[in-house]
Amino acid sequence: MTSLRARALIAQMRLRQNKRFYADPATMRDSLARHQAPERSRPPRRMTDTCDITSRVVEGCEVYTLAPAGGPTSPRHIFHMHGGGFVEAPEPHHWHFAARIVARLGCLYTMPMYPLAPEHDHRSIVPMVERAYARVTDTVAPRNRIVFGDSAGGTLALTLVRHLRERGQPQPAALALFSPWIDLATDDPLSLTLDYRDPELGVSGLKQAGRWYAGRRALDDPEISPAFADLARLAPIVVFIGHRDILLPDARRIRELGDLAGVPVELHEYPGMFHNWIMKNIPEARRATDELLRFLGRRDDG
């Protein structure tokens, strides 16, 4: 059953009308300045109590790395591409989730503040992310590299590891995707059915954001939507999705693609859960985080 805390959070999301930004393209356009405010692209100050935070500039964008206070105790380095439909800076829950993982694993954790649509599209977003990955993992053994992506970051994560494969560069040890958005047309019938149940995302707004990211390229181009890409020879993947999330078919598509390509995909579906619930302070998030860490632990075991 859905926990009382999760149900209260869903009610709060509906009361605050969280969905408005993605429910209507006109509202999205009018609200872009607030959702792209520079202060949202900086870690909250209170995180310095538990994490050491450093930054570097790549392609004119800040790239933040979190480490445990006192230094890392693990050789792992997580590279996380945040979501937000390519149009939003990170939410507070992205930073809090990163801090929790750093505390649990004792690892380094990097998030690039990639350029945002509609001012930018895939032609500048993807190269920036890939240069940032190369810079921060340059001295990290591939077996200690882990790639995370949530929502739109799922597309960036899959694009990154596919490009590594195409260039003959090593894969990371694992890929973890949270509520991934990988079909930017967002036209699966199940997404349309779930739209009224999703308290966070809306099909119409995501469609607009997808077109901005794609620029002049077709939405079913594998370079734009990994739902149409070949996942052969990629790292093992774990996916977390909720049954209230309009991106449920995208998560299931990753498992289908993994089966076709012979790539292990571990899919965790949570009834009653919403977009990116794993980053919230609810019992279901703690359970999912434990499952995530077990998956990563198995990568250490070979």
For residue 300, the model assigns a pLDDT of 76
Give the span between the Cα atoms of 230 and 251, in whole angstroms: 15
At residue 187's C-alpha, the angle toward residues 207 and 233, to 5°, is: 95
DSSP alpha helix (H) spans, 87-238: 92-105, 122-136, 152-166, 189-194, 203-214
For residue 1, the model assigns a pLDDT of 87
For residue 173, the model assigns a pLDDT of 98
For residue 302, the model assigns a pLDDT of 53
Whole-model pTM: value is 0.97
Give the span between the Cα atoms of 124 and 65, in whole angstroms: 21
Q: What is the DSSP letter of 278?
A: G
Give the tens place of pLDDT for each residue, 121-149: 999 999 999 999 999 999 999 999 999 99
| Contact present, 16 and 9 (Cβ < 8 Å) | no
Give the tens place of pLDDT for each residue, 38-92: 999 999 988 888 899 999 999 999 999 999 999 999 999 999 999 999 999 999 9
Is the pLDDT reported for residue 32 higher than 80? yes
Percent of the chain having pLDDT more than 90? 95
CA distances from 107 to 127, 132, 261 (A): 25, 18, 30
SS3 category, 45: helix
Region 260-277: mean pLDDT is 98
Is the pLDDT reported for residue 290 higher than 80? yes
Give the span between the Cα atoms of 53 and 298, in whole angstroms: 28
Q: Which residues contact 126 (CB under 8 A, 6 or more apart)?
A: 156, 159, 160, 163
For residue 167, the model assigns a pLDDT of 98
Domains of the chain, with CATH numbers? 4-300 (3.40.50.1820)
Give the span between the Cα atoms of 256 and 8, in whole angstroms: 34
- The DSSP string of 255-266 is HHHHHHHT--EE
For residue 301, the model assigns a pLDDT of 61
